[in-house]
Chain A
């Protein structure tokens, strides 16, 4: 993956070295996150959160909205974050998973699922080469169709592993499954 896939603890250690974010995050339980800290967190993790949502929904617009929802929720709940119970990224994706659950529930009530190509939307503006964009879109649609074929549980694990960039150990921590179970579940749909 081209995206940076640092774990929560790595992020905190890096942040401690650079901006003292780790200390601030560790104290978040009592003080909550400041504007600067949440923006720093957003810059670092918006990509992985978006990927998680896109893997889970296949909906570009919804994923963009959900990312912002998640970070605002994190800001709201930052007072309750206890760094002793897990890395900030694990906690961030706990909030993301809850947000996704709410979204899927509301979407099921509110409107029917979009067609895949409609849900994906257009590639980002930087891919202005029509041929490359067309190839990319075809790849994305194929991938999305493949994800559509998975069960909800398998898709969730794939989203955490490939979308959020978690290792099997982190996915196991998030989902409450064993690491081996996670590894097998992620391997079944994509046998090598």
Chain B
């Protein structure tokens, strides 16, 4: 009946009669602590529940925003397209975006520009059958006898030398209303200091250079199109309008102007479509060259 010196018979009775909770526990403190922990837990679970509720709402909102942005983008594109159709946004570029190559287009009502078939492009692809043949003349005077329109005679092109005159042909006969003129930049033969090459060294060097070979060229195409004709260009990209002595000309090519890129300057003057294609020239040279032609027409 004794274990470790204790009277367990007596202890069992004590066990059955003893309520430690009533005797030892600080029940009020326990309850307060429990209520506090319950409150904190409910606050946390409330925040968690709110997050749990907010999470689908946030996802739904995000999806909604994405749908709205996508819808608005599509809608905006539609509106821009519509405005372009209605020409509310105006400009040549908008017109160009809606054009397809290889077709004949009506002239722009403002600029009278017609976008031609891309002959050069087809030539590049090996289809040069549509590229018109040319007949070369020995002089400009010789060509003038064939042409049925009066060529403008620009002044002030001292730096440029006419090196080629050709008239277009359809293969069977000469077309008397289209001519190609090629100008090369005149080389300025300023002799270097004698100490560099000797007294007569420069003369020997310059003798080997062909006449008229310069660092740049202009290809000028003159076509009689008649009064009230439209400007025809053969590209639908990088189209800009520039003023040349009061005449509106179409500049094709990327801006800002950069030597080496393909450029073209086209306008109609006295029923003649004038197209200038620079080769290795600066923008200022192009404008000066064009101004010389415009001045020739206004005289």
Contact = CB atoms under 8 A, between A and B. Distances in A.
B30 A67 contact: yes
Interface stretch (A15-23, A94-102, A120-128, A175-183): A120-128
Contacts of A127: 23
Given A46-B21, A50-B21, A191-B8, A35 B16 contact: no
Contacts of B18: 1, 139-140, 143
A71 B27 CA distance: 14
A55 B38 CA distance: 26
B190 interface: no
Contact of B15 (A67, A124, A125, A190): A190
Contacts of B21: 3, 46-48, 50-51, 54
Interface in A43-92: 46-48, 50-51, 54-55, 60, 63-65, 67-68, 71-72, 75
Nearest to A38: B38
Contact of B24 (A3, A71, A121, A158): A121
A47 B31 CA distance: 11
A113 interface: no
B32 to A, nearest CB: 10
A98 B29 CA distance: 24
Given A46-B30, A72-B38, A72-B41, A60 B25 contact: yes
B34 interface: yes
A62 B33 CA distance: 13
Q: Which bracket fits the contact residues of A?
A: 35 or more
A136 interface: yes
A127 to B, nearest CB: 7
Contacts of A35: 38, 42
B9 interface: yes
A166 B30 CA distance: 23
B34 A68 contact: yes
A39 B38 CA distance: 10
A142 interface: yes
B8 A1 contact: no
A50 B25 CA distance: 8
Contacts of A145: 4, 6
A84 B67 CA distance: 49
A2 B25 contact: no
Contacts of A142: 6, 11, 14
B218 to A, nearest CB: 89
Contacts of A8: none
Interface string B69-91: 00000000000000000000000
Interface of B: 1, 3-4, 6, 8-9, 11-12, 14-27, 29-31, 33-34, 37-38, 41-42
Lowest 7 A-B CB distances belong to which pairs?
A47-B21, A190-B12, A50-B21, A54-B20, A3-B19, A68-B34, A149-B4
